[in-house]
Amino acid sequence: MTTVQELPKAYEPSQHEAAIYRLWEEGGYFQPRGDPQKPPFCIVMPPPNVTGALHMGHALTDTLEDVLVRWHRMKGEPTLWLPGVDHAGIATQNVVERELAKEGLSRHDLGREAFLQRVWEWAQRTRATITQQHRRLGASCDWTRERFTLDEGPSRAVRTTFVRLYHDGLVYRGERIINWCPRCRTALSDLEVEHQEHDGRLWFVRYPLLDDQGRPTDQFIVVATTRPETIVADVAVAVNPQVERWRPLIGRRCLVPVVGRPVPIIADEAVDPRFGTGALKITPGHDALDFEIGERHRLPAIVSIGPDGRMNEQAGPLAGLDRFEARKEMARRLQELGLLEREEAHRHSIGHCQRCGTIVEPIVSEQWFVRMRPLALPAVRAVREGRVRIVPRRFVRIYLHWLENIRDWCISRQLWWGHRIPAWYCGACGAVTVPPRDDPMRDPQRCGACGSPDLRQDEDVLDTWFSSALWPHSTLGWPDDTEDLRRFYPTSVLETGYDILFFWVARMVMMGLYNTGQVPFRYVYLHGLVRDPHGRKMTKSLGNVVDPLEAVDRYGCDALRYVLATGAAPGNDMRLSAEKLEGGRNFANKVWNAGRFVVQALAEHLAPGEKVEAPSGRRRRSLPLEDRWILSRLHQTIGRVERLLRQFQIGEAGKRLHEFFWGELCDWYLEMAKVRLRQGDRDALAVLAYALDMSLRLLHPFMPFVTEALWQRLRPHLAWAETEALIAAPWPRARRSWLDSEAERQMGLVMGVVRAMRNLRAEWRVEPGRWVEAFVASPEAGVLAGLAPAVEALARARPLHISPDPASLPAQGAATAVLPGAQVALPLAGLVEVERERERLQRQLQEAEREVEGLARRLAQAEFRARAPAQVVAREEERLAAARQRLEGLRRRLQALG
């Protein structure tokens, strides 16, 4: 038998967490069970990168998803939370390359195969770490279904998708302007480029005009540029035809400075007439806008910057220079030639590589692209039509705006770590061969165009987000028609940070629809960023990163989870601090101690093997007031929590539970029940056990460990316990029959009386331990009399005189309080000064007068009565009546004082 001696006074998370997690995992609770009649619930976990360890963002993800998953599991739905990890192509390759650099090696020193071997080793290690970390965070995901993006299944999904897109004409290879990171030496998608403001310069450069015969004149057209080194790749100068000043020059030619190449002056509306001189040098090889203008005017693209960021042989006099040295050198030469009109300071934003911070170079290069428009359309419709719902709603507009303005996605990466592109090039005719649609896994043996066996597979790999985009269906078995896929797809909720709405969420909707014809998930829940106590982003360089496991070690997993779950509204960032974690720890401790008290009471009052029966609905009316009250409050709370969780108001639900558990169950019911328990009252014992059980169930998704630890000790005493473990216990159902507004009203009166007595005691400095005589007068004396023992105990008021007659209160020498529905007096001879008491009551009288006045004024307004809902009017009238009652009482007390 469990006794209180076995339960320590303070909750020690470290003594329970590992064992409880083992209990769950070994019990098979993480695998989908539940009622096959009910709709299944499924979340596919956003796969953390195998770059290293989990951070607070992952802890937040785990917490929110685990809350949803545990809630649905307890509702008896077949529930699957599918975990996984992401190979994170460029990020992981960079990490391993940095490791190699410590040994003085580059990936090229090792060669592709040996390098990949190193990355695999790294990935296996971090995978193990990550898996362990999820467990420490209490994640109840199904480890038997864990997936890795490079696993056979997801890899087959990737290849199948690429092949189908190719044959549908939605994947193509072409020379386009892309973002190039000279350090990572790979192409990047637009999303992988982060723009930052920089103080740069704007050079105004003279391009000598040529006459009809192609001879230089002494006139110039002046253009402004921030990147003079790209002048060597200029193929035209463009002006806006609206600009009077330049119109005469359209159709003439000028010389590119330094390199002396004659180029046309063309007209294009895309040129901003207000920027610089209103004339723009056109460098299709190194600028996105110029590339577009170049295509419109069929201009060639010259690439003058190499993959390493150095000027290449096309750069003439700049060849061999680093791009930034080249900039200086160009400016120097222009100066020398008198072609530099002037330079200005100029603040503008520059693209940086998301993974390494290097300034990205726009370069024309041959890459693979996905044609996004046709894919985006269905994804737009899915959200517009509510088949995918985004929470919070404000992100809908952001999502739609991005999709409606989407551009083609560069998916090839010049990396080694990732899914190799399934395209082969013919050594004989140069044609591209992609596996046939009906057998995407078969490597082609002969060129599809000329039949030559001289085939070489593309060296490049796919953007890591390509495989991520397939995640919900690829992890469930697609392209195979598996039972999991049929059962759990579309998944229920996709929960992730708003920072990857475009990277991941939008692309999953597009690819999910393309591959399966169905949306990948019905709801998208977006959470915010976890920041440091000052609101700064947690970064290694600031040294303000809080390791989630450290927080778990120090405060307990439940504390961390409670804080993360309740720390912010959906989509909002949150600040995490030691103070908040302490608060979470304190709450876990409160739960522990309340539970400890109840378990102790059960052990004490029940015979060995005896169990308490749940409070019976049939006997509801005959239960004491406080029982009816707490059961009413409990079922009210169950209803509210259910509604909040349905609306994804996870934080609010957690706060409601905190309020109920601490502020109502512990502060009032448990304290009142103590008196009855001492007398062996069975109703009190049953209600207490029942309320605790239901509270533990409701709290379990938020604080799974402390609740399970207690429940394991509570369960043996409960006649109604349905399961072996709380994780699988049925979720409480709100029952209207237990709602009891009359009990709540009456308890409100009782609580008011207790508070008033406590207030008087504090006001007049009565030592908390001392018992004092007390008088209460109330029209509802009967209600109060019924709870007299509790009131006595809570207010340390004995003897307690209860009467319906206000005249029964001592007239003088007493501290008094007047509340709606009752008057309270504590005869504190010698402590109460008449003058001070008078002042106190006088103050309250004025307050009451103001209140009556305000309410009366509002109720006197015809418009208010006419337009406000009847309910509101009635409530105001009640309030006015109560305020008047109080006012009357205060007047009488003052009179009595003399």
* Binding to RNA, residues 428-487 (CB under 7 A): none
Bridge partners (DSSP) listed for residue 432: 425
Please report how close the Cβ of residue 568 comes to RNA at its closest, in angstroms: 5
Give yes or no for residue 544 binding RNA (CB under 7 A).
no
CA nearest neighbour of 665 among 747, 584, 603, 755: 747
Site for RNA in 39-68 (CB under 7 A): none
The pattern of x and - marking residues 650 through 679 that bind RNA according to CB under 7 A reads -xx--x--xx--xx--xx--xx--x-----
Angstrom distance (rounded) from CA 333 to CA 237: 20
Residues 188-207 that bind RNA (CB under 7 A): 190-191, 194-195, 197, 202
Report long-range pairs for 429-437 (Cβ below 8 Å, ≥24 apart): 432/173, 434/162, 434/163, 434/166, 434/167, 435/159, 435/163, 436/163, 437/163, 437/164, 437/167
- Ramachandran angles phi, psi of 521, nearest 5°: -160, 155
Q: Which two tokens stand for residue 766?
A: 């009565």
When the beta carbons of 112 and 394 are compared against RNA, the nearer one is: 394
| 894-898 long-range contacts, CB within 8 A, separation 24+ | 894/838, 894/841, 894/842, 894/845, 896/809, 896/811, 896/812, 897/811, 897/812, 897/834, 897/837, 897/838, 897/841, 898/812, 898/834
Return the residue of 63, 94, 161, 225 that touches RNA, per CB under 7 A: 225
| Residue closer to RNA, measured from CB, 37 or 405 | 405
- Report the run of H or E that residue 678 belongs to, with start and end: helix 671-678
Residues pairing with 210 in the sheet = 216
Q: Which of 596, 633, 715, 886 binds RNA (CB under 7 A)?
A: 596
Residue 394 CB, shortest distance to RNA, in Å, is 4
Please identify which residue in 553, 582, 681, 888 interacts with RNA, judged by CB under 7 A. Answer: 582
Per CB under 7 A, the segment of 3-11, 39-47, 148-156, 210-218 that binds RNA is 3-11
Write down the least CB distance from residue 278 to RNA, Å: 6
* Least Cβ distance, residue 345 to RNA (angstroms): 12
- Dihedral of the CA atoms 621, 622, 624, 625 (nearest 10)? 20
Closest distance of CB 897 from RNA, Å: 21
Q: Using N-to-C axis directions, what is the helix angle for 625-646 and 650-658, rounded to 10°?
A: 170
- Choose the binding region for RNA from 48-56, 92-100, 125-133, 762-770 (rule: CB under 7 A): 762-770
Minimum distance from residue 514 beta carbon to RNA (Å): 22
Specify the 3-state DSSP secondary structure of 560.
helix
Among 321, 377, 868, 894, binds RNA (CB under 7 A): 868
User: Tokens in use for 316?
Assistant: 């003439």
769 binds RNA (CB under 7 A): yes
- Closest distance of CB 585 from RNA, Å: 4
**Contact between 240 and RNA (CB under 7 A)?**
yes
Question: 735: how many CB neighbours lie within 10 A of its CB?
Answer: 13
Nearest-angstrom CA–CA distance, 66 and 649 = 14
Q: Cβ of residue 800: shortest distance to RNA, in angstroms?
A: 17
- With CB under 7 A as the contact rule, which of the stretches 105-113, 297-305, 510-518, 761-769 interacts with RNA? 761-769
Near RNA in 404-433, by CB under 7 A: 405
From 19-27, 422-430, 469-477, 588-596, give the range in contact with RNA by CB under 7 A: 588-596
In the shown chain, the binding pattern of residues 704 to 743 toward RNA, with x for contact by CB under 7 A and - for none, equals: ----------------------------------------
Tell whether the torsion through CA atoms of 809, 813, 815 and 820 is positive or negative. Answer: positive
- 369-388 mask for RNA (x: CB under 7 A)? --------------------
Q: Which stretch binds RNA (CB under 7 A): 207-215, 264-272, 329-337, 800-808?
A: 264-272
- Tell the smallest beta-carbon distance from residue 327 to RNA (Å): 11
Site membership for RNA, residue 600 (CB under 7 A): yes
Minimal distance, residue 768 CB to RNA, in Å: 4
Sites for RNA among residues 286-345 (CB under 7 A): 288-289
Cα Rg for the chain, rounded, in angstroms?
37
Any contact of residue 126 with RNA (CB under 7 A)?
Answer: no
DSSP secondary structure, 46-77, as one string: PPPBTTS---HHHHHHHHHHHHHHHHHHHTT-
Token code pair at residue 666? 């512990």
Q: Is 861 in the site for RNA (CB under 7 A)?
A: yes
| Joined tokens for residue 616 | 């019976």
Q: How far apart are CA 538 and CA 543, in angstroms?
A: 8
3-state SS assignment for residue 717: helix
Helix ranges restricted to H, 765-869 = 781-786, 788-795, 834-860, 862-867
CB within 8 Å of 440: residues ≥ 6 apart: 156, 159, 160, 162, 163, 164, 422
CB 691 within 8 A of CB 57: no
Residue from 358, 518, 586, 723 in contact with RNA (CB under 7 A): 586
What are the angstrom distances between the C-alpha of 77 and each of 11, 31, 72?
31, 12, 6
**Residue 646 found at the interface with RNA (CB under 7 A):** no
- Of 136-144, 474-482, 590-598, 697-705, the window that binds RNA (rule: CB under 7 A) is 590-598
Q: At its nearest, how many Å lie between RNA and the CB of residue 482?
A: 35
Looking at the Cβ atoms of 271 and 774, the one nearer to RNA is 271
Tokens linked to 48: 């953390």
Give the nearest distance from C-beta 877 to RNA in angstroms. 12
List the interface residues with RNA, window 773-802 (CB under 7 A): none
Residue of 124, 144, 349, 737 that binds RNA (CB under 7 A): 349
Q: Minimum CB separation from RNA for residue 831, in Å? A: 13
Task: Tell me how far, at minimum, the Cβ of 81 lies from RNA, in Å.
Answer: 25
The site that binds RNA (CB under 7 A) totals a number of residues, namely 96
The answer to whether the CB of 525 falls within 8 A of the CB of 71 is no
- 520 vs 651, which CB is nearer to RNA? 651
Binding of residue 394 to RNA (CB under 7 A): yes
In the complex, the smallest distance separating the C-beta of residue 588 from RNA, rounded to whole angstroms, is 7
250 binds RNA (CB under 7 A): no
180 is a site residue for RNA (CB under 7 A):
no
What is the smallest separation between the CB atom of 732 and RNA, expressed in angstroms? 21
Q: Is 869 in the site for RNA (CB under 7 A)?
A: yes
Report how far residue 502's alpha carbon sits from residue 500's, in angstroms, rounded to the nearest whole number: 5
Q: Which one of residues 364, 379, 574, 824 is an interface residue with RNA (CB under 7 A)?
A: 574
Q: Which of 1, 6, 9, 106 binds RNA (CB under 7 A)?
A: 9
Half-sphere exposure of residue 575: CA atoms within 13 angstroms, side-chain side = 8
The answer to the question of residue 527 lying near RNA (CB under 7 A) is no
Please state, in angstroms and rounded to a whole number, the distance separating the CA atoms of residues 451 and 448: 6
How far is C-alpha 563 from the geometric centre of its chain's CA atoms?
A: 13
